[in-house]
């Protein structure tokens, strides 16, 4: 990273440990699962979603909240198809995000000291330390 | 996460390998969720038979069969939600007109893996709203482990029992669940005041209102004021929509729901974080979002998301009485309502009109296996909004409207519904 790149640190709660890094893909609206996550393609197919058909494979997927069916856990099935994100960060979740993360098995952090979807923008470079719940953001 | 000595014993294998595996799942889940302990379930479990939330902790069909064979039982009363066995329709499958669903051998194959679950005590209700036919409800304050969009607000808000969205084999077998989120008093207090500034009249109004609320509040706990006296059908529709347009697990209707005798009680005397007003224009905006079609030649009509209750089946049958449908029409209910509808001859009325009464499934759960169509119509926001994703990359147009609009479309083959 270039010296002048602005770095921001977010502190949250570990859901799944591990270290990962990558480019951020940010959803400022909630993500929906079940039929509206295409696990083979690794993207949302919710018809009105800003990230419709935008692949999250290898990205640090940052989003506000889950919404809808228990099929949200389907995000975790992307792991079986190799279309999963590199890390999973969300502002607020419930057991649906937890089950998705347990299946995805990538560093996952939530309950941050700041709203991650306000601080992180798509294209920022992000390092995630899942074990300590620390997220370093390098602004693009 | 803190475990009692007895729970540690289970984790160490003192109650056998399956109990140990179940406890390993609850441990991993509880830790990831930030729970501090487990709670013993004194309410009920609602689960999707055949489903495992996290396949790493799978209890295999063979293991479940062996448990059932040696007479083991679920620790608490457990109800079957829709089976996740692909293609499974409980009643009416012979007449559904799609393959492999209408093949007797296929149906038998779907039933087989469910038998050990039933032997262990799972009530074969096979429905997303099994709580309507359950014959037994958890009482206020009891801890439960349920599933399903419309059911989670039912157990928390309507019954005042306590549940996250985590019913499964493991919770039913051990009778335990991580104690966090909806199990704890502080997370059940209202945080957002939602004022309905328009009169909610039709069942569709409650569906649209629920969606608008869900979108606006996400995971928060709203107190809903000005929503009139919703019927059972309207509550079920609203619950389905708040947990699809958003992730509302709990709400209060002051003066109606058990944890909110008054508005002040809903907020435990605290000030709302935010106040939201829902206008008629918000309902119209959701209606327009659900209208995802331009071709008025309807090819398939689906009714029954969540599964139709008896009032809704009766209404559909009366609208169809003596008519003839131009398009395939599915009316989906739950298995126990199906039996009662049969005794009343409603299945015959629907069939004479060219429709089919079914139970225990839905097009979404059937992964889009429904009568071939490029244009469908439904009266449920939830089914409407998921089905286009489920059939992806196939294109499907979906009309949304009242039950009357949908049945008229089935009879005439044309969509004539509009915002009124």
DSSP assignment string, B326-367: SS-EEEEE-HHHHHHHHHTTHHHHHHHTTEEEEES--TTTTT
> What pLDDT is recorded for position B85?
81
Asked if B386 lies within 8 A of A34 by C-beta distance, the reply is: yes
Whether the CB-CB separation of B254 and B193 falls below 8 Å is answered with no
| Chain A contacts in chain B segment 5-34 (CB below 8 A) | 28-29, 32-34
Domain ranges within chain A, ordered by starting residue:
7-138
Compute the nearest-CA separation of B319 from chain A (Å). 31
Three-state DSSP class for residue B305? strand
Lowest mean pLDDT among B134-148, B344-358, B362-376: B362-376
Q: Is A48 on the interface with B (CB under 8 A)?
A: yes
Three-state DSSP class for residue B312? helix
Compute the nearest-CA separation of A1 from chain B (Å). 32
Residues 6+ apart with CB under 8 A from A123: A23, A24, A140
| C-alpha distances in Å from residue A87, one per residue of A31, A33, B23, B219, B269 | 15, 17, 27, 22, 40
DSSP state letter for B27:
H
Q: What is the CA radius of gyration of chain A?
A: 14
List, in sequence order, every residue forming a beta bridge with B297; answer none if it has no partner: B414
Asked if B34 lies within 8 A of A111 by C-beta distance, the reply is: yes
Task: Centre a 10 Å sphere on the Cβ of residue B256 and count the other Cβ atoms it contains.
Answer: 16
Residues, chain B, total? 420
Q: Is A64 on the interface with B (CB under 8 A)?
A: yes
Whether the CB-CB separation of A57 and A82 falls below 8 Å is answered with yes
Q: Is B219 on the interface with A (CB under 8 A)?
A: yes
Rounded to two decimals, the pTM is 0.97
Q: In chain A, what residues touch B390 (CB-CB under 8 Å)?
A: 34-35
Whether the CB-CB separation of A18 and A130 falls below 8 Å is answered with yes
| Res A4 pLDDT > 80 | no
Angle at which helices B280-290 and B381-390 pack, to 10 degrees? 30
Q: Which residue of A has its CA nearest to B26?
A: A99
Q: In chain B, what residues touch A98 (CB-CB under 8 Å)?
A: 29, 32-33
Between chain A and chain B, the number of residue pairs with CB atoms below 8 A apart is 100
Compute the nearest-CA separation of A99 from chain B (Å). 6
| Res B99 pLDDT > 90 | no
Task: Centre a 10 Å sphere on the Cβ of residue A4 and count the other Cβ atoms it contains.
Answer: 5
Average pLDDT over residues B115-119: 98
Q: In chain B, what residues touch A36 (CB-CB under 8 Å)?
A: 385-386, 389
Asked if A96 lies within 8 A of B292 by C-beta distance, the reply is: no
Q: Is A29 on the interface with B (CB under 8 A)?
A: no
Compute the nearest-CA separation of B71 from chain A (Å). 30
Of the options 3.30.70.1230, 1.20.1250.20, 3.50.30.10, 1.20.1370.20, the CATH number for the domain spanning A7-138: 3.50.30.10
Q: Which residue of A has its CA nearest to B292?
A: A47
Asked if A34 lies within 8 A of B164 by C-beta distance, the reply is: no
| Res A1 pLDDT > 60 | no
Q: In chain B, what residues touch A38 (CB-CB under 8 Å)?
A: 389, 392
Residues, chain A, total? 140
* Paired tokens of B262: 């008054």
Q: Is A17 on the interface with B (CB under 8 A)?
A: no
State the pLDDT confidence band at B84, using cuts at 50, 70 and 90. Answer: confident
| Res B341 pLDDT > 80 | yes
How far apart CA B315 and CA B349 sit, in angstroms, is: 11
- Mean pLDDT over each residue of chain B, to the nearest integer: 97
> What pLDDT is recorded for position B45?
98
Nearest alpha-carbon partner for B209 in B311, B302, B263, B285: B285
Helix (H) or strand (E) run with residue B212 in it:
helix B203-217
The more confidently predicted of residues A102 and B101 is: A102
| Res A2 pLDDT > 80 | no
**What is the Cβ-side half-sphere exposure of residue B140, based on CA atoms within 13 angstroms?**
8
Q: Is A117 on the interface with B (CB under 8 A)?
A: no
Asked if B53 lies within 8 A of A111 by C-beta distance, the reply is: no
Q: Is A54 on the interface with B (CB under 8 A)?
A: no
- For the stretch A82-107, pLDDT in tens is 999 999 999 999 999 999 999 999 99
Using alpha carbons only, what angle is made at residue B258 by residues B255 and B261, rounded to the nearest 5 degrees? 35
* Paired tokens of A73: 């856990």
> What pLDDT is recorded for position B279?
98
DSSP state letter for A119:
H
Give how far the C-alpha of residue B369 lies from the chain's centroid of Cα atoms, to the nearest Å: 19
| Res A140 pLDDT > 60 | yes
Picking from A18, A27, A95 by the largest number of B CB atoms within 10 A of its own CB, the best residue to mutate is: A95
Domains identified in chain B and CATH numbers: 5-184 (3.30.499), 189-288 (no CATH), 291-412 (3.30.499.10)
Whether the CB-CB separation of A138 and A117 falls below 8 Å is answered with no
- For the stretch B403-420, pLDDT in tens is 999 999 999 999 999 998
Three-state DSSP class for residue B38? strand
Average pLDDT over residues B299-327: 98
How far apart CA A101 and CA B192 sit, in angstroms, is: 28
Asked if B247 lies within 8 A of A68 by C-beta distance, the reply is: yes
How far is the first Cα of chain B from the last one, in angstroms, to the nearest whole number? 54
Quickly tell me which residue has 């709302």 as its tokens.
B272
Q: In chain A, what residues touch B244 (CB-CB under 8 Å)?
A: 32, 67-69
| Res A3 pLDDT > 60 | no
Q: Is B388 on the interface with A (CB under 8 A)?
A: yes
């Amino acid at each position: 990273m270039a010296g002048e790149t602005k770095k921001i640190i977010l502190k949250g709660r570990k859901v799944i440990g591990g270290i990962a890094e990558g480019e951020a893909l940010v959803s400022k609206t909630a993500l929906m699962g079940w039929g509206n996550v295409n696990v083979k393609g690794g993207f949302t197919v919710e018809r009105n979603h800003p990230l419709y058909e935008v692949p999250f494979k290898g990205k640090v997927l940052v989003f506000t909240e889950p919404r809808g069916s228990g099929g949200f856990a389907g995000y975790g099935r992307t792991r079986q198809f190799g279309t999963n994100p590199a890390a999973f960060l969300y502002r607020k979740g419930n057991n649906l995000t937890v089950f998705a993360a347990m299946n995805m098995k990538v560093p996952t952090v939530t309950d941050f000291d700041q709203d991650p979807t306000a601080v992180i923008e798509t294209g920022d470079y992000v390092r995630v330390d899942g074990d300590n719940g620390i997220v370093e953001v390098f602004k693009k | 996460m803190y475990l009692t000595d007895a729970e540690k014993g289970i984790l160490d294998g003192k109650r056998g390998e399956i109990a140990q595996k179940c406890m390993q799942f609850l441990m991993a889940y509880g830790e990831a969720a930030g729970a501090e302990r487990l709670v013993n379930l004194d309410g009920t479990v609602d689960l999707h038979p055949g489903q495992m939330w996290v396949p790493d902790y799978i209890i295999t069909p063979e293991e479940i069969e062996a448990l059932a064979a040696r007479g083991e039982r679920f620790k608490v009363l457990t109800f079957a939600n829709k089976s996740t066995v692909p293609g499974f329709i409980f009643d009416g499958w012979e007449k559904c007109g799609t393959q492999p669903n209408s093949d007797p051998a296929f149906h038998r194959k779907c039933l087989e893996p469910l038998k050990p679950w039933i032997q262990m005590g799972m009530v074969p209700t096979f429905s997303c709203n099994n709580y309507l036919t359950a014959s037994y409800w958890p009482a206020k304050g009891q801890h439960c482990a349920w599933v399903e969009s419309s059911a989670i607000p039912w157990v928390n808000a309507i019954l005042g029992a306590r549940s996250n969205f985590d019913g499964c084999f493991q919770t039913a077998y051990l009778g335990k669940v991580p104690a966090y989120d909806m199990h704890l008093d502080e997370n059940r207090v209202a945080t957002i005041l939602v004022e309905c500034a328009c009169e909610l009249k039709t069942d569709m109004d409650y569906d649209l209102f629920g969606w608008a609320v869900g979108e606006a509040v996400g995971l928060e706990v709203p107190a809903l004021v000005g929503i009139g006296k919703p019927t059972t059908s309207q509550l079920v529709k609203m619950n389905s929509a708040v947990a699809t347009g958003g992730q509302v697990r709990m709400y209060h209707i002051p003066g109606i729901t058990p944890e909110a005798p008054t508005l002040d009680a809903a907020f435990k005397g605290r000030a709302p974080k935010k106040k939201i007003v829902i206008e008629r224009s918000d309902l119209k905006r959701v209606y327009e979002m659900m209208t995802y079609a331009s071709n008025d030649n309807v090819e398939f009509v689906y009714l029954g998301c969540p599964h139709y209750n008896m009032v809704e089946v009766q209404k559909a049958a009366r609208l169809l009485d003596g008519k003839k449908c131009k398009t395939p029409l599915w009316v989906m209910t739950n298995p126990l309502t199906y039996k009662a509808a049969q005794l009343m001859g409603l299945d015959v009325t629907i069939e004479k009109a060219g429709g089919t009464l079914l139970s225990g499934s839905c097009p979404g759960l059937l992964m889009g296996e429904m009568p071939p169509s490029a244009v469908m119509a439904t009266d449920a926001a939830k089914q409407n909004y998921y089905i286009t994703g489920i059939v992806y990359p196939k294109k499907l147009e979906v009309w949304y409207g009242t039950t009357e609009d949908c049945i008229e479309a089935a009879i005439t083959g044309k969509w004539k519904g509009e915002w009124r």
